[in-house]
Amino acid sequence: MLFQVRMDVQIPADLPADVANDIKAREKAYSQELQRSGKWRHIWRVVGEYANYSIFDVDSNEELHELLTGLPLFPYMRIAVTPLCRHPSSVREDDRQE
């Protein structure tokens, strides 16, 4: 199942810098692990914002929920999820038809 996920990060200004830096380092490691596994297929930064658009390829809604809530930055995020399916006019054969 493919999902487009927009993540807007809002770290509190009063969060100590060392705590914020630790969370960001754990976030990077976790997200890169998911990318290598193929679960997090794409990630794009939104220009001028602390936000991204990502594409996840997971087996279920529950799996996506677990992955997102496992993000170290999750407590500081606003997340919007859009389910996707392959468009019949797509020329990309590597996109799964759900």
Q: What is the 3-state secondary structure (H, E, C) of the chain?
A: CEEEEEEEECCCCCCCHHHHHHHHHHHHHHHHHHHHHCCEEEEEECCCCCEEEEEEECCCHHHHHHHHHCCCCHHHEEEEEEEECCCCCCCCCCCCCC
User: Does residue 70 sit within a domain?
Assistant: yes
65: in domain: yes
54 in a structural domain: yes
Instruction: Give the model's pLDDT for residue 97.
Output: 52
Tell me the pLDDT tens digit for each residue of 54-93: 999 999 999 999 999 999 999 999 999 999 988 888 887 7
Q: Does residue 37 sit within a domain?
A: yes
Q: Is residue 94 part of a domain?
A: no
pLDDT (0 to 100) of residue 75: 98
Beta bridge partners, 57, equal 2
CATH number for 42? 3.30.70.1060
pLDDT of residue 60: 97
Number of domains within the chain: 1
Residue 23 lies in a domain: yes
- 26 belongs to a structural domain: yes
pLDDT tens digit string along 22-49?
999 999 999 999 999 999 999 999 999 9
Predicted pLDDT of residue 88: 86
